[in-house]
């Protein structure tokens, strides 16, 4: 849905088909990180998404507890959206995101995205329609679609096809692309339920996660919707588990609730060997599958969709050279790999904490040990904001602002109170600092180009007098002067050496 919205924003007509009859009922994720929110802001969706999220005054705290009937051991404290916005304004040094992260379940996000594309005249979106097969040739792709309810099939012709069809991707299978990494790393059991028993489920006050060695209780809306992610009890017949019994055992006492969804599942650490086969591409879970620690699954997929979307649009509009689409895999697969490693590292910390629970009986000692291990899975700003497309490996924990080509453009607020991000055009934007001459880049631009003149104290953060920004807000090129604009554009749009 994000890819469809991205294509439509650039004037590209597309068709979306989804084999399920409606948006998901499964709470697949519960945080949209700040980088994804920046991209959703570019798509005009931030306000609608925040309207269905956790109240902006509520924190993002992660609390380790003995149990909900015991004591709180250690709380990792994180600001609310309101508090983070204030911090962003105060720390106007390029180190902060344009948008704070958002606590919200994918159950709530998907209907917002669905409405955004169903209302768009350039998107033909159909639920209950599955891709059965496809063939491609030099000029396009012919896809065979099946209406799930009736079994009727049809063939459609398209210029390109993107398989955003999940971990069991038919598109990936038909391309013959394998997966690297480890499948079925761990067995998990998910219980999604509704309850007003906040006196029990928020025993130590509002928190995003309550965690023990036996699982994590996720507050989906801080009101009445919750998800428990736990392990199936050892030696039991998992398909016949009683979710009510599992839930009550974890909570530690009876309470009123309504069961919504409960099912076992496996965690994976997998990455597609390739992201492209001819005119067909992979994005999201079809390309990578992670353990949820760090929240990198959907958030990585959002980055995939926006990167692929603008490059498909530039190609279809005739702006791009033959190499631009190939850069999708070159840019996004290393990000997918790094995020897989990060997810694995964070899981390792969870395992260590679980071992602490088993061998330490003094709760004060246990609390100190947990605090010492830290909570990098919610503090890896380098992973979330520092990823670059120039081969430089970021510090996973620290975001260093940079305008090196391939880096995310640092976000700042200007003297007049406006955000520089909000002054970027829909396609390319040339930032001009001081008295640099932008005319070589403007005169030779083969794609739509907005020019923003910046005479402001934030200028040193951007490291050069001319900064060319891509549609996904990554830096395309920078320099104090430009002698050959055509050479720059050849490099940016066709991945040729200038």
Q: At what angle do helices 296-316 and 326-359 cross, to 10 degrees?
A: 180
Cα–Cα distance measured from residue 62 to residue 65, given in angstroms and rounded to the nearest whole number: 10
Spatial CB neighbours of 199, under 8 Å, sequence gap ≥ 6:
none
Q: What is the DSSP letter of 213?
A: T
Distances, alpha carbon 464 to alpha carbons 16, 181, 436, 477, in Å: 41, 40, 10, 10
Q: Please tell me the number of Cα atoms within 13 Å of 287 on its side-chain side.
A: 32
The mean-pLDDT minimum among 55-59, 137-141, 233-237 falls in: 233-237
Q: What is the DSSP letter of 413?
A: B
Cα–Cα distance measured from residue 201 to residue 193, given in angstroms and rounded to the nearest whole number: 12
> Bridge-partner residues for 179, per DSSP?
272
Band of the pLDDT at 399, cuts 50, 70, 90?
Answer: very high
Has residue 485 got a pLDDT over 80?
yes
Q: Please give the average per-residue pLDDT across 67-95, as a whole number.
A: 96
What whole-number percentage of the chain has pLDDT above 90?
Answer: 91
Pairing label, strands 161-163, 280-282: parallel
pTM for the whole thing?
0.95
Cα–Cα distance measured from residue 386 to residue 409, given in angstroms and rounded to the nearest whole number: 10
The mean-pLDDT minimum among 174-178, 262-266, 404-408 falls in: 262-266
The pLDDT, as a whole number, for residue 496 is 53
For the chain, give percent helix, strand, coil, nearest 5: 35, 25, 40
The per-residue pLDDT for range 455-483, each reduced to its tens digit, is 888 889 999 999 999 999 999 999 999 99
Order of strands across the sheet that contains 466-469: 449-454, 428-433, 466-469, 475-479
Higher pLDDT, 497 or 147: 147
Closest CA to 206 of 215, 217, 193: 217
Band of the pLDDT at 320, cuts 50, 70, 90?
Answer: very high
As a CATH number, domain 420-494 is: 3.40.30.120
The mean-pLDDT minimum among 188-202, 204-218, 483-497 falls in: 483-497
Has residue 497 got a pLDDT over 60?
no
Spatial CB neighbours of 289, under 8 Å, sequence gap ≥ 6:
167, 179, 268, 269, 270, 297
Band of the pLDDT at 498, cuts 50, 70, 90?
Answer: very low
Domain boundaries, the chain: 2-180+269-385, 420-494
Closest CA to 215 of 65, 363, 73: 65
The mean-pLDDT minimum among 171-175, 184-188, 190-194, 304-308 falls in: 184-188
The pLDDT, as a whole number, for residue 459 is 87
CATH class of 2-180+269-385: alpha beta
Cα–Cα distance measured from residue 386 to residue 408, given in angstroms and rounded to the nearest whole number: 7
Q: Please give the average per-residue pLDDT across 130-151, as a whole number.
A: 96
Are the C-beta atoms of 170 and 131 separated by less than 8 Å? yes
Residue 376 CB-density burial (10 A; 0-12 exposed, 13-18 middle, 19+ buried): middle
End-to-end CA distance of the chain: 35
Cα–Cα distance measured from residue 480 to residue 72, given in angstroms and rounded to the nearest whole number: 54
Are the C-beta atoms of 394 and 429 separated by less than 8 Å? no
Q: Mean of the per-residue pLDDT values for the chain? A: 95
């Amino acid at each position: 849905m994000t890819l469809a919205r991205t294509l439509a924003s650039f004037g590209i007509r597309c068709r979306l088909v989804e084999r399920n009859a409606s948006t998901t009922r499964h709470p697949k994720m519960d945080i949209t990180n700040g980088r994804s929110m920046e991209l959703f802001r570019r798509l005009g969706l931030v306000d609608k998404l925040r309207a269905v999220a956790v109240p902006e005054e509520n924190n993002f705290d992660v609390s380790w507890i003995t149990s909900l009937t015991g004591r709180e051991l250690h709380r990792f404290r994180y600001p609310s959206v309101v508090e983070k916005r204030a911090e962003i304004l105060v720390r106007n040094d390029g180190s902060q995101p344009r948008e704070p992260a958002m606590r919200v379940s994918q159950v709530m996000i998907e209907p917002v995205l669905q409405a955004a594309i169903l209302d768009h005249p350039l998107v033909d979106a159909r639920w209950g329609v599955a891709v059965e097969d496809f063939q491609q040739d030099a000029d396009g792709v012919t896809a065979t679609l099946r209406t799930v309810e009736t079994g009727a099939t049809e063939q459609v012709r398209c210029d390109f096809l993107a398989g955003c069809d999940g971990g069991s991707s038919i598109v990936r299978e038909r391309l013959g692309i394998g997966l690297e990494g480890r499948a079925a790393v761990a067995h998990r059991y998910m219980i999604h339920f509704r309850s007003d028993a906040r006196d029990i489920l928020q025993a130590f006050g509002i928190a995003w996660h309550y965690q023990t060695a036996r699982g994590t209780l996720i507050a989906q809306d801080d009101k009445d919707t919750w998800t428990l992610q736990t392990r199936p009890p050892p030696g039991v017949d998992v398909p016949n588990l009683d979710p009510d019994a599992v839930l009550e055992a974890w909570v530690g006492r009876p309470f009123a609730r309504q069961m919504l969804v409960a099912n076992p599942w496996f965690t994976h650490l997998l990455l597609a060997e390739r992201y492209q086969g001819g005119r067909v591409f992979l994005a999201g879970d079809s390309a990578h599958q992670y353990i949820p620690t760090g929240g990198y699954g959907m958030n990585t997929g959002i980055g995939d969709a926006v990167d692929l979307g603008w490059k498909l649009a530039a190609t279809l509009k005739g702006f791009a050279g033959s190499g631009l689409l190939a850069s999708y895999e070159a840019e996004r697969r290393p990000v997918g790999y790094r995020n897989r490693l990060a997810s694995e590292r964070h899981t390792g910390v969870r395992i260590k904490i679980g071992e602490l629970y088993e061998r330490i009986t003094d709760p004060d000692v246990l609390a100190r040990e947990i605090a010492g291990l830290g909570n990098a899975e919610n503090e890896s700003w380098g992973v979330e904001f520092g990823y670059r497309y120039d081969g430089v490996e970021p510090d996973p924990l620290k975001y260093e602002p940079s305008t090196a080509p391939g880096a995310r453009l640092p976000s700042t607020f200007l003297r007049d109170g406006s955000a520089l991000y909000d002054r970027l055009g829909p396609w390319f934007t040339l930032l001009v600092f001081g008295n640099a001459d932008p005319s070589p880049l403007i005169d030779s631009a083969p794609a739509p180009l907005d020019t923003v003149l910046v005479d402001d104290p934030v200028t040193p953060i951007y490291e050069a007098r001319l900064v060319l920004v891509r549609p996904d807000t990554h830096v395309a090129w920078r320099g104090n002067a430009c002698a050959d604009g055509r050479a720059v554009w050849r490099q940016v749009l066709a991945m040729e050496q200038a």
